[in-house]
Amino acid sequence: MRIRIDKIELPMDYTTAQLLKAALKKVRCKPTELHGLHEVRRFIDAREGSPQMMVVAEADLSVKLKNGLRDVKKAKPLPQRAKVAPMNFSGPRPVVVGAGPAGLMAAFELAEAGMKPFLIERGEASDQRAKRVEAFWKEGTLNCESNVLYGEGGAGLFSDGKLTSRSKDRPRVRRFLEVLVKCGALRDILVDAEPHLGSDVLVDLVPAWRKLIISMGGEIRFGARLDRVEIEDGAVRGVVVNGEEIRTDCCVLATGHSARDIYEMLSQQGVPLDTKPFAVGVRLEIPQHRIDTAQWGQSYPAVGRASFRLTRREENNTRSCYTFCMCPGGLVIACASSEGLMTTNGMSLSQRDRPFGNAAFLVPVFPADFPAAAIPALAGLDLQREMETAAFAAGGSDYSLPAQRLVEFLEGAAASDLPAERSCGRARAVDLRGLLPDFVEQTLRSTIPNMLKGMPGIELDEALLYASETRSSSPVRVVRGEDGQSAVRGLYPCGEGSGYAGGIVSSGIDGLRLAESILASSV
């Protein structure tokens, strides 16, 4: 009988032999009676009150079940999405715009079904893009078409590769992760409660994804900028790319939240857009060993580095605040996609072995906070531009990040200097006052100290702030219906840039979901 064992308690640096021994103890059998042990999930138990740090695992195995066993139940099949059978497709090739996780997953699914999609990306392939981004970080040389935010792999290529997801759509999440494994990711991502790849792994994984799409009949073109969507009688009839018209009746729009020109083009063409809330703030950096001690009591290099997730509810004079995109053992990075505009983000490599950890501390911003705009649906973009223009100027107008010691920011004091040891070398000591809306600054000053109190041992005078984090999500939604289509038939807005996802996994499963809608309508 195939069974699942819950609550297998293991040491932090456990081995396969220790997992087997613990499983045998749970089911009270000999090694020869147990077959096909398969670990299906694990997480680190660092809850307050736990007797010691441990890993808690679940595993499936085949064994003759005895009566009276605890934490043992019949194994359920792992979540699986029904696979679409390849079709004999003869219509115009679907066009997928954007090679981030949403676009790549949509193109993969369409290619596997035999539709031979045409995937276009305005930026460069990941290896060339990585070199260009490295030059930007070292020298401040910006290419507005291929940068930290545009190019193969999307913005997530340089944002840690975290694969956490709160989605309850487990079959699609599983499908997305399995595709990543097929492209070279370790199978650990199918087991870990908080899986992570690392930007250095993504740079190699994404080209493998591209090659799989091509092997199934897809075509990919880089340096291919979408000029406009051709619309006739309320339906897509083609796209214009670098001045060349490509006939199609199906366009998946997965352009990411930094392709602001796409929003403006869609507005001009009458595609319905709407405002949506987003969040802005700062990125806070503290020594990683402090985070490890606060969360785990000590560091455990064998199992990685500790992370954190903090929240603070809305109070009388402040809004709520929460952490986002926490990068253990990582780097704070500068980001830009347009001249004179500056934002920040964080990333980690696969080993997460740098001396600092960082996270965004964000405050919600609502459409009522947006300034008046010529195109009301794009008012949130104007607010982002205001903050990013201010950050660029404060950093010296050379794409260096404005930064300040946390204690100085809390006291409203002028910036003195920056610590010699920090993750971002191209940073400038700046008074951060005035770079963000007043209600955001007020909330951050009030909430950050209270939030960090939940992590014993964190020293406020060791913390460094970088400004400003403005692109955690899109302030625009490209309106779509239940079938995934815009009011323009054949136009499928997708992923973060269309306002329907927030992160690598949610973007990937949104691309998968829309590809399924396209396939269902093509049968």
Given 40, 74, 108, which residue is the final one in a domain?
74
Tell whether the model's pLDDT for residue 67 goes beyond 80. no
Regarding whether 309 and 227 lie in a shared domain, the answer is no
pLDDT at 83: 65
* Residues 6+ away with beta carbon under 8 Å from 507: 100, 101, 102, 105, 154, 156, 254, 495, 496, 501
Distance, CA of 253 to CA of 191 (rounded, Å): 31
Q: What is the mean pLDDT of residues 169-176?
A: 91
**CATH number of the domain bearing residue 19:** 3.30.70.2700
Domain for residue 89, yes or no? no
Regarding whether 425 and 333 lie in a shared domain, the answer is yes
pLDDT per residue as tens digits for the range 440-494: 999 999 999 999 998 999 999 999 999 999 999 999 999 999 999 999 999 999 9
Tell whether the model's pLDDT for residue 318 goes beyond 80. yes
521: pLDDT confidence band, cut at 50, 70 and 90?
A: confident
pLDDT at 201: 93
Regarding whether 461 and 478 lie in a shared domain, the answer is no
DSSP β-bridge partners for residue 245: 240
3-class SS at 253? strand
410: pLDDT confidence band, cut at 50, 70 and 90?
A: very high
Distance, CA of 128 to CA of 120 (rounded, Å): 16
pLDDT at 48: 62
Regarding whether 488 and 444 lie in a shared domain, the answer is no
Distance, CA of 304 to CA of 352 (rounded, Å): 7
Tell whether the model's pLDDT for residue 13 goes beyond 90. no
Regarding whether 228 and 139 lie in a shared domain, the answer is yes
Which amino acid appears at position 376 of this protein? P
Given 452, 469, 486, which residue is the final one in a domain?
469
Question: Can you give the three-state secondary structure of 427-463, one letter per residue?
Answer: EEECCCCCCCCHHHHHHHHHHHHHHHCCCCCCCHHHC
Regarding whether 479 and 419 lie in a shared domain, the answer is no
Domain for residue 19, yes or no? yes
Domain for residue 502, yes or no? yes
pLDDT at 81: 66
Regarding whether 173 and 47 lie in a shared domain, the answer is no
Regarding whether 237 and 121 lie in a shared domain, the answer is yes
pLDDT at 129: 96
- In order of 192, 236, 339, the CA distances from 262 in angstroms are 37, 16, 17
Q: Write down the mean pLDDT value for the chain.
A: 92
Tell whether the model's pLDDT for residue 432 goes beyond 90. yes
Domain for residue 86, yes or no? no
Q: What is the mean pLDDT of residues 92-102?
A: 96
Tell whether the model's pLDDT for residue 162 goes beyond 70. yes
Regarding whether 291 and 412 lie in a shared domain, the answer is yes
pLDDT per residue as tens digits for the range 436-448: 999 999 999 999 9
* Residues 6+ away with beta carbon under 8 Å from 198: 160, 161, 348, 349, 350, 351, 352
Tell whether the model's pLDDT for residue 167 goes beyond 90. no
Distance, CA of 66 to CA of 280 (rounded, Å): 55
Regarding whether 287 and 388 lie in a shared domain, the answer is yes
Distance, CA of 369 to CA of 364 (rounded, Å): 10
Note down the domain range covering 501: 95-274+474-522
Domain for residue 83, yes or no? no
Q: Considering only CA atoms, which of 283, 278, 365 is closest in space to residue 319? A: 365
Domain for residue 88, yes or no? no
Percent of the chain with pLDDT over 90: 77
Domain for residue 383, yes or no? yes
**CATH number of the domain bearing residue 103:** 3.50.50.60
pLDDT at 37: 87
Given 19, 41, 74, which residue is the final one in a domain?
74
Tell whether the model's pLDDT for residue 85 goes beyond 70. no
Regarding whether 113 and 57 lie in a shared domain, the answer is no
Helix axes 170-182 and 199-215, enclosed angle (nearest 10): 90
3-class SS at 344? strand
Regarding whether 437 and 325 lie in a shared domain, the answer is yes
- Number of domains present in the structure of the chain: 3
Whole-model pTM: value is: 0.93
* Residues 6+ away with beta carbon under 8 Å from 158: 133, 148, 199, 333, 335, 345, 347
1: pLDDT confidence band, cut at 50, 70 and 90?
A: confident
Lowest-pLDDT range of 89-93, 199-203, 241-245, 419-423: 89-93
Domain for residue 87, yes or no? no
